[in-house]
Amino acid sequence: MAQISNAQDWANINRFKDDNKKISLLTENKDRVVFMGNSITEGWLQYSPDFFSQKAYVNRGIGGQTTPQMLLRFRADVIDLKAKVVVILAGTNDIAGNTGPMTLEEIMNNIKSMSELAKINGIKVILSSVLPAFDYNWKPGMNPNIKIPELNKLIQEYAEKNDHVYLDYFNALTDGNNGMKSVHSADGVHPNKAGYTVMEPLAEKAIALALK
């Protein structure tokens, strides 16, 4: 059988295929939390592995991903793992245009679809704000300093309207100019250890609220 190339597996559905098979057998854990996201979620595991290994937290972040890619792998990486809670952190790569132009409405539609899939499968939803970024070093001029706050407003409104938990990382990390504090990031987009240290108690508070 021919191997699946990256081009064929556009959403990287096979990235966690083997790991998911192992986790799906551990049905005894009733409070499994899946973190669905991009490089910000993926990097969290590298900077703070104990945050995940010491709890029933599963990291399903893939660097560079956009919301349509996450939506395609949502069943394999969240629903099939029998998650109790999903923490969705998505949207910054859509604004950067990683997989093509995306409007804020289109980004929200994908976030809504993931949320609806979770809800119909009995999974509590935590919708994270997009982290602050004044500009993208790999794609300058996309105005994330303007678009991210606008997207976060839409995410918060949707979360509140649909009884999901809204997890606000933005206001904890912003430098006051819609960028990220330099102490929390080396490149202004991805958190460092100090950034994740700020994020962790916020995530745990949101998870506790979702599990009530």
Would 18 be classed as within a structural domain? no
Number of Cβ within 10 Å of residue 103's Cβ equals 11
The whole-number pLDDT of residue 1 equals 33
Per-residue pLDDT reduced to its tens digit, 31-88: 899 999 999 999 999 999 999 988 999 999 999 999 999 999 999 999 999 999 999 9
The whole-number pLDDT of residue 133 equals 98
The answer on pLDDT for 3 being more than 70 is no
Would 194 be classed as within a structural domain? yes
| 189: CATH | 3.40.50.1110
Tally of domains within the chain = 1
The whole-number pLDDT of residue 68 equals 98
Q: pTM of the predicted model, to two decimals?
A: 0.93
Would 49 be classed as within a structural domain? yes
The whole-number pLDDT of residue 22 equals 85
Domain that holds residue 48: 28-211
- The residue with tokens 């956009």 is 66
Per-residue pLDDT reduced to its tens digit, 36-48: 999 999 999 999 9
Name the average pLDDT for the chain: 93
The whole-number pLDDT of residue 13 equals 92
Q: Which one of 4-18, 25-39, 142-156 scores highest in mean pLDDT?
A: 142-156
**Cβ–Cβ under 8 Å, residues 151 and 95:** yes
The whole-number pLDDT of residue 2 equals 35
Q: Which two three-digit tokens encode residue 124?
A: 């509590």
Per-residue pLDDT reduced to its tens digit, 103-123: 999 999 999 999 999 999 999
Would 7 be classed as within a structural domain? no
Per-residue pLDDT reduced to its tens digit, 151-195: 999 999 999 999 999 999 999 999 999 999 999 999 999 999 999
**Cβ–Cβ under 8 Å, residues 160 and 110:** no
User: Which residues lie closer than 8 Å to 146 by C-beta, 6 or more apart?
Assistant: 178
Binned at pLDDT 50, 70 and 90, residue 130 comes out as very high
Would 135 be classed as within a structural domain? yes
Would 15 be classed as within a structural domain? no
Would 118 be classed as within a structural domain? yes
Would 191 be classed as within a structural domain? yes
The answer on pLDDT for 6 being more than 60 is no
Q: Which two three-digit tokens encode residue 91?
A: 């949207």
**Cβ–Cβ under 8 Å, residues 205 and 161:** no
